[in-house]
């Protein structure tokens, strides 16, 4: 009887798979996580700012490892400008002093065609970024993500 109970528990653990070994692919989370590094992730979790999570890539349906920088109800500032090559550029600010930083940047650039806007994260959404901000595809590309897109939380 004990063997059957152990077998059932082991089978349930395998099916539920609360833990998962994830291979980091790329350099978007450097210097904290490196390409080909193995991390342990958990399926059931609470969501908090600063957490590193594995999300479903909205473009490829693959997996991305990113950090949550804003959660529902948080505000962020977005600054958009067009450079001399007619490329659109964006900057983002988060946190308590985000508004002051964004407005200071706007004042320094002083271009009437630039756009500074304030956004609030919707219910059940998060804004995620790679730690290596210059080499990351994240919410700056596809916007805030629904929490259902989060597959795992990195331990």
User: What does pLDDT average to over the chain?
Assistant: 91
| Residue 27: cis peptide before it, omega within 30 degrees of 0 | no
Which of the four pLDDT bands, split at 50, 70 and 90, describes residue 49? very high
Neighbours of 79 (CB within 10 A): 19
Which of the four pLDDT bands, split at 50, 70 and 90, describes residue 45? confident
pTM: 0.83
Tally of domains in the chain: 2
Identify whether 62 is part of a domain.
yes
pLDDT tens-place string over residues 64-106: 999 999 999 999 999 998 888 988 889 999 988 999 999 999 9
Whether residue 29 is found in the same domain as residue 94: no
Domain assignment of residue 91, given as a range: 75-120
User: How much of the chain, in percent, has pLDDT values that exceed 70?
Assistant: 94
Whether residue 80 is found in the same domain as residue 64: no
Whether residue 100 is found in the same domain as residue 146: no
């Amino acid at each position: 009887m004990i063997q059957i109970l152990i077998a059932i528990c082991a089978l349930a653990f395998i099916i539920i798979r609360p833990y998962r070994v994830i291979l980091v692919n790329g350099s978007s989370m450097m210097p904290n996580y490196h390409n080909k590094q193995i991390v342990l992730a958990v399926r059931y979790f609470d969501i908090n700012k600063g957490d590193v999570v594995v999300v479903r890539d909205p473009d490829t349906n693959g997996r991305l490892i990113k950090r949550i920088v804003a959660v529902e109800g948080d505000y962020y500032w977005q600054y958009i400008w067009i450079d001399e090559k007619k490329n659109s550029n964006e900057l983002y600010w988060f946190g308590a002093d985000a508004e002051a930083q964004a407005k200071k940047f706007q004042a320094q650039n002083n271009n009437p065609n630039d756009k500074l806007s304030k956004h609030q994260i919707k219910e059940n959404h998060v804004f995620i970024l790679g730690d290596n901000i210059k080499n990351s595809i994240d919410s700056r590309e596809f916007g805030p993500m629904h929490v259902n897109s989060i597959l795992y939380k990195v331990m």
